[in-house]
A and B are shown apart, each in its own frame.
Chain A
């Protein structure tokens, strides 16, 4: 009986904070803007094109995820910074229900915003890329493109859940956002210079951003260390781990 009430309470909190809407709109806008810029800057030599049109048009996800992360982090950490968490937990003593409600809402909002952003990015890619030599034109009727698009939406949703879990565990918004963005962006930077091929491959397999974005690949799948869905699975494991950690901290530590 408490679940719908918790959902309603959390929805009211999220909806009545101006920053939620702005940040979600910002995440979608940044995703589309970076995607369009990359589309416009892409070029292909006349002798075959190694570029993957789906991946190119969805490059914006790599930037947009930073804002998605902050939406999810603020959904939790702002309660701690304002002391609201004590009222929340007094009203709803079942702490895991609170966390589940927050996770559901954050995931739902991000899912909706990223669906818009991804569809717009694919549409922009479909219109722009053929003019730059990247063919065939993107179409969601193609299986791999549909997978890349749907996977990108899920990717951003999982990033939100990962951020929510980490924020619940560390509570402080600054630390949480530092951890999330460090986790996402540091792996690809460091992996690029790892000389040992085996280590490099393993790091690519466990890096949440690198592995998760395999879901966007529609070309050269054989050379990837994981299949696209396995890659997204790695990110899902990270998100599940973070949420579990957050749940444990929330359950057993004083707010």
Chain B
């Protein structure tokens, strides 16, 4: 047996360059009616399902339908078009608290000692309300642009379970002294204003102060409102395991005692004013904080303040009083688009083998990697354009339909909305290239589609309640290509807001672009293997 060196063409690879090769592959793609129809089906199915989802939204005022336990709670919003307050960064926020305030003209500071913080469930019909102190019940001092909801602020606070914090402009959060507050171990808080810059300090004894943070609030007027505040978020009781249980939410109320309130600077008003910011039922100054009432009570320099609500970003669909529907929900139809695109992408490769065209293709372009690259480029670009049209169409149609229903939709800041729509298109495009690579490896379209659907769609389906346990879901959505759905996450998770951050509410274990990188990694791996096999195997 003599060794025969395999024949290798001595012709220069792809003399005409990559451009004509792309053109050839594009011609193959666009001249097969079934594939063009498949791409159109992807667009129409995604947009159509978006319209269906938008149409099916319920008006905000009847959101507490039969069996619905997570209808949005309205805060001073009229039925048919609730307006959510927006923070300085454009994000929707909840801004509801009891505010004991005075105007502060120019620079100055405010200091207070917090000696107790307690909480209970509000409005329990009859009987003493059970005492519940939420980990994120807040009491302390605040300097705020005004009493308008969503206006800039900076605050130093004692929390129910997270120690002393400095928070500002809804999303900012820095930790101060740890531990719970009590009469035996009080917490001293101080805010100092210098122009637009506010510095927070805390202390355990009122003598030794530690700087917690310095923040700059843009556009702060010269006269601001400053004073004491108390607020307490919803209490969630999960009767759940395996994501199939129900969630009850109840408003809570917190009461704090603030002592040794002192001020420096110019405080033109002679007395304190009590306001329930963002709330409907406010009690005037001097009202004693009885059951169900937010208010304050002053004895010399000692204030007892009761409040409920929260000063925090709204979390979409995650029970944080936000609207249940988000832009991401409109895009769940992109699963249909993804499947249709995957079918076309796999056939784009396997049809070459079916028809024997692969031999002509490879005779014309002996550099097989280039053929794979050209095919990947064409199908990726086509899928991206289709995905963009599908996602934009779905969001536009659904928004239109939901608006017609008078439904409350999570008001997405535009950069996030753009990321969700463009991300969906990118997800579909990379998934198409992934499918093409898998189809090159297995050469059978049915098997390729099966692999793609089992790795991209099934983990997501299994994560929907009542699905598989949360721990397993989290790992599935970290390591499978399905991680890329993190691109559709409608809002960031905030450590300082308690909510159910689960995949079915649109919260993924990975950050949006990290999740996308997981899909890209799998695709790169599949492409490398595909190009290796394409070169090594006979066609």
Interfacial residues, chain A to chain B (CB-CB below 8 A): 34, 37-38, 41-45, 48-51, 55-56, 59, 62-63, 66-67, 70, 73-74, 77, 81, 172-178, 181-182, 185-186, 188-190, 192-197, 199-200
Contact = CB atoms under 8 A, between A and B. Distances in A.
Contacts of A73: 446
Given A63-B458, A181-B457, A199-B56, A190 B446 contact: no
Contacts of A176: 446
Interface stretch (B129-137, B294-302, B346-354): B346-354
B504 A192 contact: yes
Nearest to B350: A174
Contacts of A70: 446-447, 450
Interface in B121-174: none
Contacts of B75: none
A44 B458 contact: no
Contacts of A48: 239
Contact of A193 (B53, B67, B468): B53
Counting chain B CB atoms within 10 Å of each CB, which of A51, A74, A172, A195 scores highest?
Answer: A195
Given A63-B458, A189-B332, 15 more contacts: A48-B239, A49-B241, A50-B239, A62-B458, A181-B453, A182-B340, A185-B457, A186-B335, A193-B325, A194-B53, A195-B57, A195-B325, A196-B56, A197-B58, A200-B56
Given A44-B241, A185-B457, A66 B450 contact: yes
Interface residues of B, number: 57
B471 interface: yes
A45 B244 CA distance: 13
B368 interface: no
Most buried by A among B57, B245, B466: B466
Contacts of B528: none
A120 B433 CA distance: 37
B38 to A, nearest CB: 8
Contacts of B38: 175
Contacts of B466: 55
Contacts of B63: 195
A200 B336 CA distance: 18
Contacts of A192: 332, 464-465, 504
A185 B468 contact: no
A177 B450 contact: yes
Contact of B347 (A34, A62, A174): A174
A31 to B, nearest CB: 12
A210 to B, nearest CB: 10
Contacts of B340: 178, 182
B210 to A, nearest CB: 40
B242 A56 contact: yes
A219 B424 CA distance: 37
Contact of B242 (A50, A173, A177): A50
